[in-house]
Structure 1
Amino acid sequence: MSIAPSIASQWRAARRRGWVLAILCGVALAMATVVWGSFYAHRYYLDEAATRGANTLRLSVAVLRGHMARYESLPRVIADFAAIRDLLTAPGGSTRIDEINAYLKQINAQFDSSDIYVIDADGTTIAASNYDSETTFIGENFRYRPYFSDAIVGGEGRFYALGTTSLKRGYYFGAPVMVEGEVAGVVAVKIEVDSIEDTWRDAGGYEIVVTDPEGIIFMTSRAQWLYHSILPLTPDRVERTVETRRYADASLTELSLTQTTESGHPLYSITYNGEPTEFLVVAEAMPEADWTVSVLLDTASARSQAITAIIIAGLAIIMTALALAIYLQRRARLSERLQIQREAKETLERRVIERTSELASLNRRLETEVAERRSTEIMLRKTQTDLIQAGKLAALGQMSAALSHEFNQPLSAARNYADNAQVLIERGRVEDAATTLSRISGLIDRMSAISRHLRNFARMPNQKLTAVPLKETIDDTLEIVNWRLVSGQIDLAIDLGDIPLFVTGGPVRLQQVLVNILSNAIDAVEETGDRHIAITAHEHRDKVVLSIRDHGPGITSGLNERIFDPFFSTKGVGKGLGLGLSISYNIIKDFGGELRAENHPEGGAVFTIELLAAKSSLNEPLAEAIS
């Protein structure tokens, strides 16, 4: 009975050993691949860098040869001039030398060379294009220079050196001046190489150097390497350099350099300022100038690319191995997962059915709650409107006694004027009677104005926002509260600026706000001896700021946040419902503005209303935010 389990366990153990062996073989193969890939990647990217360097080298050599070819025939042409031959055979005094100097200066400027000069057979310069400079060559002896010694025997002189007089680097061409088959002197042309060298700087990724036969760098894209030798400065090399005074008094130093070879490419490891840098070297000889032009490419980029390629290859191998392992593991567990998925699917379907039923029930409850909330919101808006109207009617009730006095005075005066008019008519004084009747008409107009303002104040407001002229609204407000200002002997100062101001709001509701705030200000100053109220307004950016300041006792400390609460009042019993400021606050909020209350530093309270500025040409009402 135990044979089958034993065979199965042995088979599983053998399979595990097979997997372990396969993994070890895979790891060994991956390591061998990485080692081989490392060698190949470095070789590939070094070859690629060498190809780029060869392209740069060909271009640099071509530029150098082109630059030299432009001037190599110039000294021979000048040497053939009769005036030059005559100068060497029969100088003829200072006048002829001056003419030759000016002539050489003209040619030098025309060909944009550095210097052109004539040397006699002894090596002394007798005429030069720089005759009028502080570092003129005239009188200098250059017989030690190879370009003179080669040309004086009938050959062509070429030499690169640092000028002993000008201390400027240049390349010299020398040509013999032939007179009746014999060499009478030499014409030398010096050209500067700084312009070519400048084009090499900031090349990025590579350096260009030109070395002489002794291995000394005399042209380079890196100025710090100038006059450094890439070869050991042996006594023989130094002696040959000093003999020709190629570098004048410049200090020559060996460059800290180590040469190696990798994949058939020469490499320089150069240490400068304590930092070693490895370069791949591509060089080409210029035998016509006895130069060697080298392009040095920093290998950091190539090696970085090689390392990146190796890492990518290693990661690819690892990812492939992981993918294979995952695939086999998933395949082994596929049947188990399918069973789990079937069970999970059945469970999920059952839960979905249950959850759908619950969501349907919840949705019905939410619809019922939404309907109730909408109904409640409508009732709240209606209640708010009723509260605003109640506040106005309460204010009208408080005004009724005083306003009856306002009406009684004009009515009594009108009665007296009517009696006087009747008497005047009986006496035949028609003109006086007409004057009396006009006075009666004026009194009736005043009572009509007061009645109109009270009627407008009491009616239900329009729920649309329009452009409201601030001055007219304040004037209408004063028609309602003026009796209190007069009876309380209160001084009211108004400053609305020179430019008419228009705000966005409703004229009736804005008037209600102003009536509430002015009434509170009047109540405050009636309790003090300083009975002054100031109304100011100005436009700030896109808003109009209206301030109403009284000289009363101010707001009690700690009540700033509560004075806008409904039914909150600091007045005595029977003097207010505590709704005025709350209603005013909500009205300003509906206008999209802000109402603030604070104490003034000099005493009293300040109520500030900020409303959106509007243009007087605004005819279409704006949709008002009721919420």
Structure 2
Amino acid sequence: MKWFASSKQAVWLYFCAFFIVILLIWKGGEAVRNQQIKTLRLDSFEELNQLASVLESAIAKYQHMPTLLASNDRVKKALRDGFESDINQLNRELEQINRITEASDSYILNADGLTIAASNYAGASSFVGSNYVFRPYFKDAIVGKPGRYYALGIMSNRRGYYFSYPIYEGDSIIGVAVVKVDLTQFEKRFANQNYEFVLLDPDNVVFSGSRPNWLYRVLGELSHEELKRIADSQRYGDKTIEKLAITYKKPFDDQSYIVEILENRMTNNSDNLNRVSYLKMSRPIRLLNFQISILAPLKIINEDIALWRAIFAGGVTITALLFGLAMLRTRMLRERSDANEMTRHNQAYIREVIQNTQAGLVTLDGSHRIESFNPAVEKLVGQPLAPLVGQPLSVLFQPDEQDASILSDHENFWDAANSLGIKVLTREGRLYYSNKVSVPVEMTLCEMQLPNRLSYLVTFHDMTERKRYEQEITQARIDLEERVKARTFELESANTRLRDEMEEHKGTQRELIQTAKLAVLGQLSAGLNHELNQPLTAIRAFAGNSLKFLDRGLYDQAHANLQHINQLGHHMGDIIARFKVFARKGDVQHGPIAVQTAIMGALKIIGTRYKEVDITLTVMEDQDFIVNGDMVFLEQVLVNLLANSADAIVEQPNGSRQVAIIQTAIENDIVIRIQDSGSGLSEEAIKHLFEPFFTSKSSGLGLGLGLSISQRIVEAMGGQISAQNQVTGGAEFCVRLPRFIPHTSLSDAAIEEH
């Protein structure tokens, strides 16, 4: 681990050193490049000044030519008289002047801007007859000012700089003399320099330059209004003004920039876009109101720096590789020495392990004869085994009968292993050296591929303790199975008794519920007598009257009395049926029940009691709530709660007598609240209210089972029952039951799921 850590640290150190050297090479290259660019800037600055001076001197000599032409009498005579002979003579003189001065073109315009004579009168692109009244140089000269202008010629389609001057006849201007300077000869003169140059007009449009494909390109940004102004002036005809593809621009110093221009280069008849770097320097030409720029290519400098970096990087890389190879060789020699020392140490260690291991080890030669053994084998047998060297292993080890039966078709177990292609074979058997020795062991045979020969290693593990443990475990398992059978019989008997007790408990619980029902019915029996006595008294009265009406022949009145008797009979039947349903036994049957229906059923049973004690009962309008439960048992719970509320109000003689039944929905549950105006519940009563046989009523009133049974009924329907005191006084009992949710069919559920 230490070697690995030091090796890893050395690799990181070499990597950091290599990175630092590469960084120094890069920074050094940048420094050399900047120095070379500075030298190039000094040379380019001198060439820029020379180029500007040559251009200014070359154009300046033409600026006074229009003045000389304007003072020529032949020019004035031709404009004044317009004789063809004078004009022809003037054409020849202008042609001769151009040959002498090497000007591009000279021509004379009349006061209407029409060309009457020109130096190129004999050429195909003669100016004679052309009207240039729209040109700015004419507009300036016709009002008495010297004119200057630059544009692309309409007839010649050549770029030129124009000088103009007014021609006077007395105090009147009768025409304009114009001289055009062609810049093509200037471009050709400086075309083969080691730099590129551009002549920019005031709008930064390339008007002249050493690269034809840069002409009419913008070195900067022009707005839409500026482009429209240039187009309206017809300065460059139908040429499209586009931006020069400058992809990078960075100041080098106060007077120069490093720029990269995207250029098309033809290679193998295909266009390739290349980035070309230049050092750009500029200065103004005040005579023309232009700016001239030199773009010195940096390709040679960049290539030199790249070559310099590559050479240094290659040298550093080769040095690092040689150093690494030297280090690697040193490490390999050290590792070889360490490996030899480790081999000697391992051999000694292995000998000690073999001699001191607790497992018996035996080595076999390729013919399966014993070669060597360790002391553990002799300790297992209890005798020296030197006489067995060279003998087959079968004289020492014999497999168990179950393993021997598997190998019955083979001469011995290692032949079986070889035929089956098994490299590691494990068998259980016994060590036999004499008739007195028999040791149970587990034998493991594995093949050892040594460099020069085939050998086998046999390992013997003493299984005496293991066999004893196996016998003990087998006997313990048998004993455990017997105990499990006995315990299972006891548990089955206990389960049978428990089921019997549960059935008995359920029956007792049903009897308690039925007892609570009957107790309520007993308390309500007086009211039941009153409810039945009134209809019976009315029936007797209607029956007596009906007999009298029949005797008198008043059949309509008798028929009406019989209808009243029928209605009273149905009313008595409903009362008796309600009490019969309420009094019957049964288990909780879950199903959809209407809360309002259950409340009204409970009121039919308890209503008479409330009338007797003069309690005002307020019931909320039907909310169409449906809960999941049992109608009869829910009526029993409501009757118990309403009866308790009536008892609580009766025990308070002075006070309001009001009970309210309220229905609310909370999430997926429906809550039925029964609020009374009694004295409320004590803290002790709230703690033990739902315990069996607990009652807060006066002695002899109630068994204390009503609320306990009601709680069991509500919980059996999946709900909850609780009690609390109201803030305004009195008690409030809440019965919370799950809202009934219709279950969709399996097919509908499957369709919705998908």
Tell me the TM-score range normalised by the shorter chain: 0.5 to 0.7
CA 1:496 to 1:608, structure 2 compared with 1: closer, same or farther past 3 Å?
A: farther
- What pairs with 1:215-364 in structure 2 (closer than 5 Å)? 264=320, 329=357, 331=359, 338-364=463-489
In structure 1, what is the equivalent of residue 664 of structure 2? 538
| Structure 2 residue corresponding to 1:132, chosen from 213, 217, 222 | 222
Deviation, 1:438, is 2.0
1:558 paired with 2:628, answer: no
d(CA) in 2 for partners of 1:335, 1:617? 71
Deviations 1:513-559 (A, max 9, x none): 11111110111122331111111112222211111111111111122
Q: Which amino acid aligns with 1:170?
A: V
Q: Aligned with 1:513: secondary structure?
A: helix
Q: Aligned with 1:468: secondary structure?
A: strand
CA 1:618 to 1:117, structure 2 compared with 1: closer, same or farther past 3 Å?
A: closer
d(CA) in 2 for partners of 1:37, 1:395? 96
Deviation, 1:462, is 5.0
Deviation, 1:349, is 2.2
d(CA) in 1 for partners of 2:359, 2:578? 91
Are 2:662 and 2:674, in contact at CA under 8 Å, matched by a contact in 1? yes
CA 1:162 to 1:399, structure 2 compared with 1: closer, same or farther past 3 Å?
A: same
Q: Aligned with 1:132: secondary structure?
A: coil
Q: Which runs of 5+ in 2 are unaligned?
A: 23-150, 165-179, 181-203, 227-246, 262-275, 281-290, 310-314, 324-334, 361-375, 377-458, 746-754
Deviations 1:276-330 (A, max 9, x none): xxxxxxxxxxxxxxxxxxxxxxxxxxxxxxxxxx9xxx9xx9xxx9x98999857
CA 1:399 to 1:161, structure 2 compared with 1: closer, same or farther past 3 Å?
A: closer
| Structure 2 residue corresponding to 1:572, chosen from 698, 715, 735 | 698
d(CA) in 2 for partners of 1:352, 1:214? 90
- What pairs with 1:90-489 in structure 2 (closer than 5 Å)? 90-92=160-162, 117=206, 128-130=218-220, 132=222, 161-162=250-251, 170-172=259-261, 173=276, 264=320, 329=357, 331=359, 338-489=463-614
Are 1:116 and 1:187, in contact at CA under 8 Å, matched by a contact in 2? no
In structure 2, what is the equivalent of residue 516 of structure 1? 640
Are 1:566 and 1:578, in contact at CA under 8 Å, matched by a contact in 2? yes
Deviation, 1:430, is 2.4
Q: Aligned with 1:446: secondary structure?
A: helix
Deviation, 1:392, is 0.7
Deviations 1:462-514 (A, max 9, x none): 542110111111111111001011111111111255x4111111111111111
Deviation, 1:347, is 2.6
CA-based RMSD = 5.3
Deviation, 1:350, is 2.7
Q: Aligned with 1:91: secondary structure?
A: strand
Q: Which structure ranks higher in relative contact order (CA pairs < 8 Å, sequence separation ≥ 6)?
A: 1
Deviations 1:386-411 (A, max 9, x none): 11111111211221122112211211
Deviation, 1:378, is 1.2
Deviation, 1:359, is 2.0
TM-score by length of 2: 0.45
In structure 2, what is the equivalent of residue 583 of structure 1? 709
d(CA) in 2 for partners of 1:116, 1:421? 129
d(CA) in 2 for partners of 1:548, 1:597? 10
d(CA) in 1 for partners of 2:602, 2:564? 25
CA 1:490 to 1:166, structure 2 compared with 1: closer, same or farther past 3 Å?
A: farther
| Structure 2 residue corresponding to 1:609, chosen from 732, 735, 740 | 735
In structure 2, what is the equivalent of residue 501 of structure 1? 625
Q: Which amino acid aligns with 1:402?
A: G
Are 2:619 and 2:661, in contact at CA under 8 Å, matched by a contact in 1? yes
Q: Aligned with 1:561: secondary structure?
A: helix
d(CA) in 2 for partners of 1:518, 1:378? 31
Deviation, 1:341, is 2.2
Q: Which runs of 5+ in 1 are unaligned?
A: 1-29, 54-81, 97-114, 137-157, 177-183, 192-209, 216-228, 230-258, 268-309, 620-627
Q: Which amino acid aligns with 2:642?
A: L
d(CA) in 1 for partners of 2:560, 2:209? 132
d(CA) in 2 for partners of 1:353, 1:463? 49
Q: Aligned with 1:595: secondary structure?
A: strand
Are 1:119 and 1:127, in contact at CA under 8 Å, matched by a contact in 2? no
In structure 1, what is the equivalent of residue 58 of structure 2? none
